[in-house]
Amino acid sequence: MAKTKPGKKDLDSYTIKGTNKVVKGTALFPVQFVSFLSYYSAATLFSMREGGTVVCDCVLLRPSESDKPPYVARVEKIEADHRNNVRVKVRWYYRPEESMGGRRQFHGAKELFLSDHYDVQSAHTIEGKCVVHSFKNYTKLENVGAEDYFCRFEYKAATGAFTPDRVAVYCKCEMPYNPDDLMVQCDGCKD
């Protein structure tokens, strides 16, 4: 008779190898608590999801090629198998140059697109934690650190479609705001 393999167990967190940094996965909270967070705007600390799921951390993952920048992903779930091999289910962020449309003039250097692309990776590929801010919160930062990024679009990897499909413009030339450029007057405007 064949032996059945023991199942996987969900973990609340994982300590990044060689550091004291802890990555947190998803946590389920009662709907009342989620409503409380939303009401008091503390939800900006978390990514909120329907059904009371709060996702806590974004991470930098080691690329296969050492000359490439680290990949950025949002941790959806952390689990260990019967041998205690820890794996993370992630939702990928894409850089503009990785999207079908490519990088455009208004994309910021630290801009990412939250994709509908999910994957499972070994937790050993995590290099560190990062923060992916909303566009609004990113533009309010006094100092942008190496681990600070921002996202203003969701991206469907298979179709190349963006949500929202339009972005606010801030200038007579009708170019969207690039937070890396001081937009007192753009090159196309003379007033």
> How confident is the model over 118-175, as pLDDT tens digits?
999 999 999 999 999 998 899 899 999 999 999 998 999 999 888 877 776 666 666 6
Q: Output the CA torsion sign for 137, 139, 145, 151.
A: positive
| Whether the predicted pLDDT of 2 surpasses 60 | no
- Report, as an integer, the average pLDDT of 176-191: 61
Q: Would you tell me how many other CB atoms lie within 10 Å of the CB of residue 187?
A: 9
Instruction: Look at the pTM and tell me if it is higher than 0.75.
Output: no
| Mean of all residue pLDDT scores within the chain | 77
Domain boundaries of the chain, sorted by first residue: 9-163
105-126: buried (b, 16+ CB within 10 Å) or exposed (e) per residue? ebbbebbbbbbeeeeebebbbb
- Report, as an integer, the average pLDDT of 38-42: 37
| 38 in Cβ contact with 30 (< 8 Å) | no
Residue 56 confidence (pLDDT): 66
> How confident is the model over 74-130, as pLDDT tens digits?
999 888 888 888 899 999 999 999 998 888 888 889 999 999 999 999 999 999 999
CATH architecture, domain 9-163: Roll (2.30)
Residue 60 confidence (pLDDT): 94
